[in-house]
Amino acid sequence: MLVLTFICVLLIALYGTLIIYYTWAWKTIPGWSPPVSRPSPQARITVLVPARNEEKNIIPCLRSLSRQTYPKELYEVIVIDDHSTDNTAALVKDLAASSSLHLTCIQLSALPVTGPGQQEQAPNARSYKKFAIQTGIKAAHGALIVTTDADCWFDPDWLRTIAAFYESTGAKFIAAPVRISASTPGSSTLPAQQQTLLFLLQTLDFITLQGITGASVSRRIHSMCNGANLAYEKEAFEEVDGFRGIDKIPSGDDMLLMHKIYKKYPDKVFFLKSRPAIVSTHAEHSWKGFVNQRIRWASKASTYDDKRIFWVLLLVYVINLLFPALLIASCWNRWYLLIALTLGIAKTAVEYPFVRMVAAFFGQQHLMVYFPCLQPFHIAYTVIIGWFGQFGSYRWKDRNVRKLGSVKK
């Protein structure tokens, strides 16, 4: 009993030290804004939007892109339609014909195939989103590639901020912030979704992940980012052979690529901490969608070439696994229940200042009132999702995906 108690105390001490470090690192990231007096922008940008069955989201996304303050002649938007079975491609083409936006739609279903009926099973197509992005990069005219998702919307100064940061720093790879929002573009009211357990859980979890992203990238302690808001040089992408070597993995178009570029340019990978650079996206609307999304994210853990993040993920998982283990052990000895409660209080106390600081950056600090109450749900979901991420399968964009990149339609 004393040995287990000592192990628990040691693990929570290590975890607390890690979170305190993240708190310090986030706090020391300078907020960035373009210099008041700076030359006219020069960077030519290609925004890539991979999309599959996004007819409900694609038009608001593209309209938000058309309202960018960045000079229209300096950026283009390429939507890569990934075998949609709805009207996504038709909507994009209609908008391209009537909008001032430099907009192109590439349909993967129209590309040459390797054999009769074999396009979906082509080696690169197995990774879907990476294949779509790679296809878009081949068609891109911009020197700076910016990737986002079809269910996102943007501050009018989004591209202007990214371009100014790129030109000021000479960055090869930029990770930028992403926020889950319940409000839709142009709406002044919040839907009832914001009050649901599902929305609160995934929003606060996402805030935590964004804080860790900013802290880890700024201090270059491990690679972390979100594909809804990335920028990297087309030349750097080509220099590291793009997704070669990670193209059989269904996910990982963001973090796995980031680490490849980091290995070649360790001093040219940055996190852009700037409110105009925030990309907003919708929360998953169902528990099934949320679980599948998180399993997809967790499935990448065993494929990380960056072993620094592996040990962080392992520590986080073990800390959360302690709680159900201690609760089960408490059936024989109540001492373990006391340990579980003490660890829960310590975990919440050390995490709260960090998450609140990041939530304030995103303008979502009002959600922190729910943070302590959601701890049991977060612990349970971390344990379950972590397990299924390594040993289970998930459904993504109407495709059943198993480990090692095998896919069943």
Q: Which two tokens stand for residue 7?
A: 């192990």
Instruction: Specify the amino acid at residue 31.
Output: G
Q: What does the pLDDT read at residue 258? A: 93
Min mean pLDDT across 192-206, 263-277, 293-307 is at 293-307
Q: Where are the domains of the chain?
A: 41-300
Q: What does the pLDDT read at residue 43? A: 92
Q: What does the pLDDT read at residue 296? A: 77
Min mean pLDDT across 87-96, 246-255, 391-400 is at 391-400
Q: What are phi and psi of 50, to 5 degrees?
A: -65, 140
Strand partners, 232: 145, 173
d(CA 244, CA 225): 19
- Where do the H-state alpha helices sit in 220-275? 234-239, 255-264
Cβ–Cβ < 8 Å for 390, 314: no
pLDDT mean over 159-173 = 95
pLDDT mean over 132-145 = 95
Check whether 407 has a pLDDT greater than 70.
no
Measuring CA to CA, which residue among 164, 160, 101, 111 is closest to residue 134? 111
Check whether 404 has a pLDDT greater than 70.
no
Min mean pLDDT across 1-10, 213-222, 369-378 is at 1-10
d(CA 235, CA 282): 32
How big is the chain by its Cα radius of gyration, in Å? 22
d(CA 142, CA 102): 12
Per residue in 6-47, pLDDT tens?
A: 888 899 999 999 999 999 999 999 999 887 777 788 899 999
Q: What does the pLDDT read at residue 271? A: 97
Check whether 83 has a pLDDT greater than 60.
yes
Computed over every residue of the chain, the mean pLDDT equals: 87
- What is the pLDDT confidence band of residue 121, given thresholds at 50, 70 and 90? very low
Cβ–Cβ < 8 Å for 399, 409: yes
Q: What is the domain class of 41-300 according to CATH?
A: alpha beta
Q: What does the pLDDT read at residue 140? A: 96
Cβ–Cβ < 8 Å for 163, 144: yes
Check whether 390 has a pLDDT greater than 80.
no
d(CA 213, CA 26): 9
Q: What does the pLDDT read at residue 177? A: 97
- What is the pLDDT confidence band of residue 189, given thresholds at 50, 70 and 90? very low
Check whether 56 has a pLDDT greater than 80.
yes
Q: Which two tokens stand for residue 210?
A: 């964004």
